[in-house]
């Protein structure tokens, strides 16, 4: 079990003390040992704890501003009309894109 302080609360849950920054720092410390220290395949198993699921990059949602949608498309070299309004950007240019192609988790990049 991974724990920042090796302690649990009264419910036996250590998750309240962990956050994404602590988990990612831990992963960066152990990654070299896992990569270079073992002759066997290493499998990293993660659950859906919030600190395992921070996005490094995420496909915009309807809650994203129009300007942010345009910035995101520029970063991904996806053409769009600069006159496009938010609703059209989202409906016609963002929605058709597969989340799995654009949503990248920090942990995936570190691993």
- Distance of CA 52 to CAs 3, 18, 47, Å? 13, 10, 7
pLDDT at 4: 44
pLDDT at 17: 78
Where is the domain boundary, 12, 27, 53?
53
16: containing domain: 1-53
Buried b (16+ CB within 10 A) or exposed e, 92-108: ebbeeeeeeebeebbbe
Let me know if residue 7 belongs to a domain.
yes
Mean pLDDT of the chain: 82
Q: Are residues 43 and 12 in the same domain?
A: yes
Q: Are residues 33 and 61 in the same domain?
A: no
Let me know if residue 111 belongs to a domain.
no
Q: Are residues 1 and 39 in the same domain?
A: yes
Let me know if residue 109 belongs to a domain.
no
Q: Which secondary structure element, helix H or strand E, spans residue 107, and what is its range?
A: helix 106-110
Structure tokens at 91: 């409906």
pTM attached to this predicted model: 0.63
- One digit per residue, the tens of pLDDT, for the chain of length 111 reads 444 445 555 655 555 678 888 888 888 888 777 776 667 777 778 888 888 888 999 999 999 999 999 999 999 999 999 899 999 999 999 999 999 999 998 988 887
How many domains, the chain? 2
């Amino acid at each position: 079990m991974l724990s920042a302080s090796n302690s649990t609360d009264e419910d036996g849950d250590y998750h309240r003390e962990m956050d994404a920054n602590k988990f990612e720092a831990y992963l960066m410390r152990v990654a070299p040992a896992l990569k270079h220290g073992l002759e066997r395949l290493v499998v990293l198993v993660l659950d859906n704890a919030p600190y395992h699921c921070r996005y490094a990059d995420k496909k915009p949602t309807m809650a994203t501003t129009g300007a942010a949608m345009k910035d995101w498309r520029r970063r991904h070299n996806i053409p769009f009309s600069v006159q496009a309004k938010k609703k059209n950007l989202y409906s016609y240019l963002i929605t058709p894109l597969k989340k799995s192609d654009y949503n990248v988790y920090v942990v995936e990049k570190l691993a």
